[in-house]
Amino acid sequence: MTAHKPSRRPRSATPARPAAEPRLIDLTAPVEDYLKAIYDIELGDRAAATNDIAHRLQIAPASVSGMVRRLAEQGLLAYERYKGVRLTDAGRRAALRTIRRHRVIEAYLVKALGYPWDQVHTEAERLEHAASDELIDRMAAAIGEPLTDPHGAPIPTRDGVIDETPHSALADVASGAAARIVRVGDENDEMLRYLDSLGIRPGVRVTVGDRAPFDGPISVRVGPVQHQIGHALAAKILVESD
């Protein structure tokens, strides 16, 4: 007598799993640099084009295309047709995590170790990829949880919250108007030393005087002293109405 084989239940189709969100701890230094650059470009309320990213990172556009494709495959970037790429939620969290490390390190170097503000950007660029989140949190706590770095840039919280309030440039302030310095660019050491020699730092109140036509020099009073600064430099100084 032939044994009867029990019928097998048909296998149900296994539902496709969504792509795993990249673990932020696994990101390499070049990936973090890309995400930071794209975050900065997006602050201008536009997608990041290949040439924009290449210019900011000072690399060839051909190199950008391959990396952007890989980051999109990892779920960190999303394409906008004919425009470029934007950070996904995961990409934004990763970018802000790196930005927090960079800016806390800068603040710690100035407040705890006495570094001048023109020497901390390069140090932070090197250290931001190696420091753990716990170390960064301890550094921030040790200096009183600063809200901004030494150049006035907002520091994201450990939960990824950041103040993205837009500010006007000093170059756009009308003659006779007063303003308070909020932030200055941090990537040019010589510019920072020059601004420091003029007494122009975040928190300082200035008054705009005469403005030369055709993007000529702008007269700026800092305390009792009047200075002439170029339009291009004034465009790198962010202010709020005083």
Task: Indicate the DSSP class of residue 46.
Answer: S
**Cβ neighbours of residue 158 under 8 Å, at least 6 residues apart?**
100, 133, 137
- What is the pLDDT at residue 242? 80
Q: Cα separation of 239 and 172, whole Å?
A: 10
User: What tokens does 186 get?
Assistant: 């941090």
pLDDT at 227: 97
Average pLDDT over residues 138-150: 98
Phi, psi of 171 (to 5 degrees): -65, -20
151: alpha, beta or left, given left = phi > 0 and alpha = psi -120 to 50?
alpha
Q: Out of 3.30.420.10, 3.40.47.10, 1.10.10.10, 3.40.50.920, which CATH number does the structure's domain 21-164 have?
A: 1.10.10.10
* Mean pLDDT rounded to a whole number for the chain: 91
Query: Does residue 57 surpass a pLDDT of 50?
Result: yes
**Ramachandran assignment for 111, one of left (phi > 0), alpha (psi -120 to 50 degrees), beta (any other):** alpha
With bands split at pLDDT 50, 70 and 90, how would you rate the model's confidence at 188?
very high
Over residues 133-141, the mean pLDDT reads 97
- Whether domain 168-241 has CATH 3.30.70.20: the reply is no
Q: Where are the domains of the chain?
A: 21-164, 168-241
Among the listed ranges 19-23, 77-81, 127-131, which one has the minimum average pLDDT value?
19-23
Q: What is the pTM of this model?
A: 0.87
